[in-house]
Amino acid sequence: MKLKPSTRRWWLFTILVLAGQLGAIYWLSDKSQPPVRRAAAAPIITLVPPNELFALYDPTIFALPHARSFSGKAWQSLPGLPFRPFEWTAELQWMPLPAGQLGEGLARFLQTNRSETLRALEVADPNLIQPELPDTPVFAQKSSVRIDGALRNRRLLTPIEPGSWPHSDLLTNTVVDVIVGLDGMPISCELRPPGSGLAGADQQALALTRNARFESFVTKGPRRNTNAAPLSALTRGSFVFSWRTLPTTNAPPP
């Protein structure tokens, strides 16, 4: 089998490159013997006999607590604590009680503070003043009504006069929530629970609220608005009825 001239040239070039690499490796390699590694310097511990000369060159003899310094006996030779158990061997010795001197401290105090004690005991004659009774009665003399909410800023045209009710116990306030339209008439009246505790008083509060009339905001004339009023034009509020309670009798309520 014969190789082509170009193939022979590539094989010859490859062999020459391989031979050159082997020759370079052989020529550049170090053939000398490795040097012997010597041990590095290290601290050496040497036992020195305890003599006075060595103690003088000790740098810690005065900087730190040392057995050979001036404080050696103080920190090294600590005295032992003796064991002393708690055993009471002596007899009880009662303190003397001088009965004749009892109360002398109080007597000396009274002698030195007699003037101040007498001035303190002097009490001026009290000025008896009778308290003034309030002119206003404690309990309401008649029932009343109060308007709360945005409705109190609207002028009321019809007066509201709630009556008094006989009952065995005090009546709580009756609160009626009301919505008033532009024409000043109530649109909705609702009793707020739990009421006053008397059905007749609550019904009277509802009736008075329905009959109440406020200032009208309806425009008059040819430009009068006949459409339904929006919710923003309605006025909300509440009537708070405070009842006067009378003793229970057989007479009908006023």
What pLDDT was estimated at residue 114? 64
User: 82: cis peptide before it, omega within 30°?
Assistant: no
Cα–Cα distance between 251 and 242 in angstroms, integer? 21
Residues in contact with 208: Cβ distance below 8 Å, sequence separation at least 6, in sequence order: 145, 160, 162, 239, 241
CA of residue 61 relative to chain centroid, distance:
61
Residues in contact with 180: Cβ distance below 8 Å, sequence separation at least 6, in sequence order: 151, 154, 186, 187, 214, 234, 235, 236, 237
∠ at Cα 183 (235, 241), nearest 5°?
50
Q: Contact 55/72 with Cβ under 8 angstroms?
A: no
Q: What is the pTM of this model?
A: 0.42
What pLDDT was estimated at residue 239? 93
Reported residue count of the chain is: 254
What pLDDT was estimated at residue 104? 83
The string of DSSP codes covering 66-95 is: -TTSTTHHHHHSPPPPPP------SPP-PP
What pLDDT was estimated at residue 226? 45
254 residues of the chain, pLDDT tens digit each: 565 777 888 888 889 989 988 888 888 877 777 777 777 777 777 665 666 666 666 676 666 666 666 666 666 666 677 777 777 777 778 888 777 777 788 888 877 766 665 565 555 566 677 777 666 555 667 888 999 988 888 888 888 889 888 888 888 899 999 999 888 889 989 999 888 888 888 999 999 999 999 988 877 655 555 444 555 668 899 999 988 888 876 555 55
Token pair listed for 75: 């920190």
What pLDDT was estimated at residue 178? 92
What pLDDT was estimated at residue 197? 85
Residue with tokens 């050696």: 72
The 3-state DSSP class for residue 239 equals strand
Through-space distance between the first and last CA atoms of the chain, rounded to whole angstroms: 147
- Measured in degrees and rounded to the nearest 5, phi and psi for residue 42 equal -135, 155
Fold classification of 144-219+231-245 (topology level)? TolA/TonB C-terminal domain (3.30.2420)
Residue with tokens 């009421």: 195
